[in-house]
């Protein structure tokens, strides 16, 4: 009976995963993808998603980076259950505040002979490396020089305050094997593994020690991280085994790539979540897009909301190969998500956009903006395109697209537009249809095609040749404005001789 309750293997009942970035600036889209998969896996399995900051490199610390990371995560709606700002049962969640813990655990390793003090100077290390390089050894490795030190030597050096590091004692001639959910079985030769530094001379742990100790203490069940960690996983496995701790389940995710297939980098475009946010991308679209970079549900569905991703996600369906970040597809997804928003949702965003634009001093009525939204909705991919693609709704045109003038404006046009203006001026509270009928009457009267009137009218009202139906535009800006803009155009547009 009792045996049935004991389950030593990892199972899906107590899922705890973590996103563990180092605070070097902002959230990288690759980091977002890692965070997302962790989040999706946790939520799908009723588990916990934890944010832990790996700030054990004091040289790399960037002011405000943690706040930045958190706000980017929140913008993407990846709410974590435990973390530096909200706390939790397993805190603190900043590694720099856990130094005492690492010291305590490293002592266990030293006692067991699994780790040892190393007093070698930087100079000796460099000389060693150079020598090994000269001998064309397959690989530069520490020579375990300090492993030979006896207790007295060590206490003496310690008392003399000679700087030291603590190294992992890797036993030779072993095979180190582990299972990875996305890669399957992975095997390494212990001879190829260096005696990694675990505690640096400044007393801080390296990533390798800290991540293992914390993952164990925080009861992390699955380590889901980027492929760049695959090569150091055997060191972590060695550490788990040395501590006699159960290993978590590993899943190493494929990398995100530049168009030239190198690792996604700043040089070739935007890499920070913030960059996309400031370029008017929707959080839903970014998350949707990034989710599909390395994972798919096995069907043809491409449009997802976060809750749908949670429902469908599984680590088993994560791909092995790196994925190029294709901006075209992100743009498309953004347009898709934007069109699915309600007009009221867009209204809020549009007002925000106006505030940050050249039109910030104008005061548009919600009712007016809503009309613009319904006219432009299927013509924009980004909220700010309401302004850039149809500025004429926000301000009367001051100039007229040249090619369109050349194409649609001829000697007879002014006369014809005068006629149209007259007909329009007779209208009372005109609807779209009223404008349309009025224009039809004029075209009939002058015996010319409607196009002869429509295109110049479009030019006069909008200054450009693209946009919603011309009668919609007329209706939205209103009769007074229509008449005014025709007058202005008549005055400003002069055909070249």
Partner RNA sequence: GGCGCGUUCGUCUAGUGGUCCAGGACGCCGCCCUCUCAAGGCGGAGAUCACGGGUUCGACCCCCGUACGCGCUACCA
Catalytic annotation, residues: 266
441: helix, strand or coil: helix
Residue 257 binds RNA (CB under 7 A): yes
Per CB under 7 A, 320 contacts RNA: yes
Which among 66-74, 80-88, 316-324, 419-427 is the span making contact with RNA, rule CB under 7 A? Answer: 316-324
75 binds RNA (CB under 7 A): no
Number of residues that bind RNA (CB under 7 A): 86
Q: Which of 466, 478, 494, 495 binds RNA (CB under 7 A)?
A: 466
- Contact pick of 144, 145, 183, 216 for RNA (by CB under 7 A): 183
Q: Which residues pair with 263 in a beta bridge?
A: 257
Residues sharing a CB contact under 8 Å with residue 237, sequence separation 6 or more, in sequence order:
176, 178, 247
Q: Which of residues 157 and 329 has its CB atom nearest to RNA in the complex?
A: 329
Q: How far is it, in rounded angstroms, from Cα 331 to Cα 326?
A: 9
Q: Is the peptide bond before 92 cis (omega within 30 degrees of 0)?
A: yes
Site for RNA in 221-250 (CB under 7 A): 227-232
Query: Do the beta carbons of residue 59 and residue 101 sit within 8 Å?
Result: no
121 binds RNA (CB under 7 A): yes
Kindly state the smallest distance separating residue 106's Cβ from RNA, in Å.
13
Out of 144, 277, 450, 484, name the contact with RNA by CB under 7 A. Answer: 450
The smaller minimum CB distance to RNA, of residues 296 and 357, is found at: 296
Exactly one of 107, 192, 431, 494 binds RNA (CB under 7 A); that residue is 192
Supply the minimum distance, in Å, between the C-beta of residue 54 and RNA: 3
Nearer to RNA, 46 or 478 (CB): 478
Check: CB of residue 473 under 8 Å from CB of residue 458: yes
- 10: helix, coil or strand? coil
Cα distance between residue 382 and residue 281, in whole Å = 7
Helix, strand, coil % in the chain, rounded to nearest 5:
50, 10, 40
254 in Cβ contact with 319 (< 8 Å): yes
Question: 50, 197, 306, 354: which one contacts RNA (CB under 7 A)?
Answer: 197
CA distances from 296 to 258, 288, 303, 492 (A): 20, 11, 11, 56
472 binds RNA (CB under 7 A): yes
| Stretch near RNA under the rule CB under 7 A, chosen from 133-141, 238-246, 349-357, 423-431 | 133-141
The only residue of 157, 379, 479, 484 in contact with RNA, by rule CB under 7 A: 379
Residue with tokens 């492929």: 227
SS (H, E, C) 227-292: HHHHHHHHHHHHHHHHHCCCCCEEEEECCEECCCCCECCHHHCCCEHHHHHHCCCCHHHHHHHHHC
Please give the residues from 7 up to 46 whose contact with RNA meets the rule CB under 7 A. 20-22
- Least distance in Å: CB of 29 to RNA? 13
Instruction: Return the residue of 145, 277, 441, 455 that touches RNA, per CB under 7 A.
Output: 455
User: From the CB of 360, what's the least distance to RNA, in Å?
Assistant: 26
- Judged by CB under 7 A, does residue 388 bind RNA? no
Site membership for RNA, residue 125 (CB under 7 A): yes
């Amino acid at each position: 009976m009792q045996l049935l309750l004991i389950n030593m293997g990892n199972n899906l009942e107590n899922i705890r995963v973590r996103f563990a970035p180092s605070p070097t600036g902002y959230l990288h889209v690759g980091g977002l993808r890692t965070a997302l998969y962790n989040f999706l896996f946790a939520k799908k399995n009723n588990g916990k998603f934890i944010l832990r900051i790996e700030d054990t490199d004091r040289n790399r610390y960037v002011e405000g980076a943690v706040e930045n990371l958190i706000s980017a995560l929140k913008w993407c709606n990846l709410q974590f259950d435990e973390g530096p700002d909200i706390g939790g049962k397993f805190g603190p969640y900043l590694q720099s505040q856990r130094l005492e813990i690492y010291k305590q655990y490293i002592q266990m390793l030293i006692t067991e002979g699994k780790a040892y003090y190393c007093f070698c100077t930087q100079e000796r290390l460099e000389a060693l490396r150079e020598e090994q390089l000269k001998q064309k050894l397959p690989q530069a490795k520490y020579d375990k020089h300090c492993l030979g030190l006896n207790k007295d030597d060590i206490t003496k050096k310690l008392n003399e305050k000679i700087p030291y590091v603590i190294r992992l004692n890797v036993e030779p001639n072993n095979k180190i094997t582990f299972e990875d959910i996305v890669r399957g079985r992975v095997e390494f030769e212990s001879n190829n593994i260096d005696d990694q530094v675990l505690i640096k001379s400044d007393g801080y742990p390296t990533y390798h020690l800290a991540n293992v100790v914390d993952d164990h203490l925080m009861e992390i069940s699955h380590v889901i991280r980027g492929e760049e960690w695959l090569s150091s996983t055997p060191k972590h496995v060695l550490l788990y085994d040395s501590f006699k701790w159960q290993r978590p389940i590993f899943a190493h995710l494929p990398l995100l790539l530049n168009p030239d297939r190198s690792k996604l980098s700043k040089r070739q475009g935007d890499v920070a979540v913030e960059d996309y946010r400031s370029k008017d991308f929707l959080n839903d679209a970014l998350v949707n897009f990034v989710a599909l970079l390395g994972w798919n549900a096995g069907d043809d569905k491409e449009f997802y909301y976060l809750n749908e991703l949670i429902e469908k996600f599984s680590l088993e369906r994560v791909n092995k190969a790196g994925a190029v970040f294709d901006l075209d597809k992100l743009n498309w997804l953004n347009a898709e998500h934007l069109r699915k928003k309600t007009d009221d949702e867009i209204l809020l965003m549009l007002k925000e956009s106006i505030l940050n634009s050249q039109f910030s001093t104008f005061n548009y009525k919600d009712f007016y903006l809503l009309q613009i939204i319904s006219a432009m909705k299927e013509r924009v991919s980004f909220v700010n395109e309401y302004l850039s693609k149809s500025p004429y709704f926000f301000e009367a045109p001051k100039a007229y697209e040249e090619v369109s003038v050349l194409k649609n404006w001829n000697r007879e046009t002014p006369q014809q537009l005068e006629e149209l203006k007259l007909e329009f001026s007779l209208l009372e509270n005109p609807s779209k249809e009223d404008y349309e009928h009025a224009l039809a009457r004029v075209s009939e009267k002058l015996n010319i095609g409607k196009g002869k009137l429509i295109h110049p009218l479009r030019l006069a009202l909008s200054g450009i040749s693209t946009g919603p139906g011309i009668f919609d535009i007329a209706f939205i800006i209103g009769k007074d404005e229509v008449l005014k803009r025709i007058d202005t155009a008549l005055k400003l547009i002069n055909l070249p001789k």
